[in-house]
Amino acid sequence: MRRGLFVGRFQPFHNGHLEAIRAVLGECEECVIAVGSSQKSHETDNLFTLGERIEMIYETLRAEGLAQRAIIVGIPDINNNSLWVAHLKALSPSFDAVYSNNALVKQLFAEAGIKVKPLKLVKREDYDGTAIRKSMGKTKEWEKHVPPKVKEFVARIDGVERLRQIAEGDKI
């Protein structure tokens, strides 16, 4: 296949996402990486901006020698699931199949007649966005579950301190 689409929020980009991209690139010449919920940031569940997530992904793929086979796009959410596939298609380069384990994403693409392929979950207990965000600010455990470039990037933008500040605000 020429191009596979991989959709995610990447809050943050972790080793499971990287393995998923490797799997897509094992079957496709190129991978379109659609960064969903692109309008969200500075929330405990959506800590990083679209630009920051693009940097994490791009720097990691460059370090892995995969950047030339990837195209990264941002997709804002819309308040209408039945129109989301058309919305995404308007904002993305064309693709031949979608790779996802997200139930809603799979359902919406399947209903639109687009081929959906599952991904093998890799070390899901560790490589999981929610678990990683929970660990940030408390321990350094999460650093083992993200690519080195993501760890460096989060340190550079003081991301853990951002999470602490936002979580503090949530208690008010």
Task: Give me the residues that bind ligand NAD (CB under 6 A), please.
Answer: 7-10, 16-17, 19-20, 36-37, 77-78, 81, 84, 100-102, 104-105, 108, 119, 121-124, 127-129
Count of beta carbons in the 10 Å neighbourhood of residue 118: 10
Nearer to ligand NAD, 42 or 123 (CB): 123
Closest CA to 166 of 26, 3, 43, 40: 43
Closest CA to 132 of 10, 36, 6, 8: 10
Nearer to ligand NAD, 17 or 162 (CB): 17
Only one residue has tokens 């943050």, namely: 12
At its nearest, how many Å lie between ligand NAD and the CB of residue 17? 5
At its nearest, how many Å lie between ligand NAD and the CB of residue 80? 6
Nearer to ligand NAD, 8 or 59 (CB): 8
At its nearest, how many Å lie between ligand NAD and the CB of residue 55? 16
At its nearest, how many Å lie between ligand NAD and the CB of residue 77? 3
DSSP calls for 37-79 = STT--SSSSS-S-HHHHHHHHHHHHHHTT-GGGEEEEEE---S
Nearer to ligand NAD, 3 or 9 (CB): 9
